[in-house]
Amino acid sequence: MGLHPAKTKRPGYRSVNVRLAARDKELAESIFRRCGLTPTEAIRLFYRQTINTGGLPFGLALPEETLAAMREAESGTVEELSLDDLKAELDAIR
């Protein structure tokens, strides 16, 4: 998702254009309406909370199996596979 700042007619303000999947936009805007927010208000709230918290205003978490795989890779104990071995393992999963 890319953000593209653009000039607006209001001094000191800038626009943000975002491309979203149509379904994601519909679902999010439905939630915004239930909260009494317009999409613009929700985006402004996100930006303000990002500034207030000094980071994303929500936690990001990776699944435990992803974290375990990352720790294993960092430890250097991961078994190297050839492309043929990897294909065989993928075929076994299917």
Which tens digit of pLDDT belongs to each residue from 7-66? 557 889 899 999 999 999 999 999 999 999 999 999 999 999 999 999 999 988 888 988
- Considering the domain boundaries, does residue 20 fall inside one? yes
Residues 32 and 69 in one domain: no
Answer yes or no: pTM beyond 0.75: no
Determine the residue type at 93: I
Task: Tell me what pLDDT residue 9 has.
Answer: 75
Residues 46 and 10 in one domain: yes
- Considering the domain boundaries, does residue 59 fall inside one? no
- How far is residue 75's CA from residue 14's CA, in Å, rounded to a whole number? 46
Residues 47 and 79 in one domain: no
What Å distances lie between residue 52 and 2, 11, 46, CA to CA? 22, 23, 10
